[in-house]
Amino acid sequence: MNIYRLQNVYRILKNGTVRLTLLKTARIIGLRTLLVRMDLNNFCNIRCIMCPASKIDSGTVLKKIMSLHHYQKIAADIFPRTCSLHLSCGYEPLLVDHFDQCLIISKKYRIPFVSFATNGMLIDEHICRVMIKSQIDEIIVSTDGATPQTFESIRKGASFSRLIQNLKRLQEMKKNVNSKKPILRINYTFMDRNIFEIPDFIEKFSDFGMEILQLRPLRIDSTVFNRRDLFTKQGMNEYNQIIGKVQQICKRKNVWLTALPAIRSVEHITSTDNNESIDKRKKNNACILPWILL
């Protein structure tokens, strides 16, 4: 199931009534209609400069991990109705010892699309084998730079060389057994210091198996994090200058690109404090559910 193509079709179909009717019809005839996103823990092994999670004082917040038993109960309850499962929203799932079992269980319920996001530091041989054997659909690796200097200045505590080594291993292991899955998606959070590296990044990471690239602007929520100097008008202008070239490179490299075609206001795009801005975004990003049914 290619959820990215379906997302595009869904955006074209703007009529809310038609969308809702399709969803209701799907439920009536017994199709899977749930999109599930869940974290299995509440901590990370690195400290990215733009991440609210990295601001959490590990001394005051109790680390929690969902037990395998609890996961199995959730799975039995909702996975038979789930069409798309995303294991991890804001933390690092590979720190969970039984994460491999969680992946295996998910696929036993024949969920059509299973994905998870990671910073890539802990993708070892074992987890690669599990992903390939259970045919996990997608792994999303968050990576924000084409050079060790930029990457490690943003992702404090992460290692660029280890990331490359891990991605190459996954690519090699997939090739050895002729498996297309998991597909590799990269999430690239852009800000002033890494925008100019995006073209080089695509050239380099497409060779390591990147098939999908999402460029996401830095978001600022001043209640937990306030670094307005990280993404400024200068960065916005640079983005607008290179985005055409970025689209061309992705086309040539056969990388599916999800990115804003242009940015008109830094404040509008980065702030999560502005309610009007949030409302507008929500309106433009309506629920995808009706189009990821099987």
Residue from 10, 40, 85, 92 in contact with ligand SF4 (CB under 6 A): 92
The nearest distance, CB 90 to ligand SF4, in angstroms, is: 6
Query: Going residue by residue from 106 to 125, which x/- string records binding to ligand SF4, judged by CB under 6 A?
Result: -------------x------
Nearer to ligand SF4 by C-beta: 44 or 215?
44
- Cis peptide preceding 182, ω within 30 of 0: yes
Distances in Å between the alpha carbon of 100 and those of 25, 122, 129, 131?
35, 12, 10, 8
Q: What secondary structure does DSSP assign to 4-29, as a single string?
A: HHHHHHHHH---HHHHHHHHHHHHHT
Q: With CB under 6 A as the contact rule, which of the stretches 62-70, 84-92, 178-186, 228-236 interacts with ligand SF4? A: 84-92
Residue from 10, 91, 201, 239 in contact with ligand SF4 (CB under 6 A): 91
Task: In whole angstroms, give the CA distance from residue 292 to residue 23.
Answer: 10
User: Do residues 259 and 215 touch, judged by C-beta distance below 8 A?
Assistant: yes
Q: For residue 178, is it left (φ>0), alpha (ψ between -120 and 50) or beta?
A: left
The nearest distance, CB 88 to ligand SF4, in angstroms, is: 9
Nearer to ligand SF4 by C-beta: 50 or 292?
50
Distances in Å between the alpha carbon of 47 and those of 8, 58, 156, 213?
33, 11, 5, 22
Nearer to ligand SF4 by C-beta: 22 or 38?
38
Query: Going residue by residue from 28 to 67, which x/- string records binding to ligand SF4, judged by CB under 6 A?
Result: ----------------x-xxx--x-xx-------------
Residues of span 157-186 touching ligand SF4 by CB under 6 A:
none
Residues of span 122-151 touching ligand SF4 by CB under 6 A:
142
The nearest distance, CB 6 to ligand SF4, in angstroms, is: 26
User: Do residues 192 and 232 touch, judged by C-beta distance below 8 A?
Assistant: yes
User: Which of 222, 225, 227, 48 is CA-nearest to residue 142?
Assistant: 48
Question: Hey, how many other C-beta atoms are within 10 angstroms of the C-beta on 218?
Answer: 22
How far is it between the farthest Cα atoms of the chain?
Answer: 54
Those residues whose C-beta lies under 8 Å from the C-beta of residue 27, and which sit 6 or more positions away, are 33
- Reported as type and span, the H/E element at residue 243 is helix 233-253
In the numeric block, which tokens belong to residue 208? 């390591």
The nearest distance, CB 210 to ligand SF4, in angstroms, is: 17
Is residue 96 close enough to count as binding ligand SF4 by CB under 6 A? Answer: no
The nearest distance, CB 200 to ligand SF4, in angstroms, is: 22
The nearest distance, CB 193 to ligand SF4, in angstroms, is: 15
Nearer to ligand SF4 by C-beta: 32 or 185?
185
Nearer to ligand SF4 by C-beta: 137 or 144?
144
User: Which of 1, 100, 80 is CA-nearest to residue 36?
Assistant: 80
Nearer to ligand SF4 by C-beta: 132 or 170?
170
Nearer to ligand SF4 by C-beta: 80 or 90?
90
Nearer to ligand SF4 by C-beta: 55 or 180?
55
SS3 213: strand
Residues that bind ligand SF4 (CB under 6 A): 44, 46-48, 51, 53-54, 90-92, 119, 142
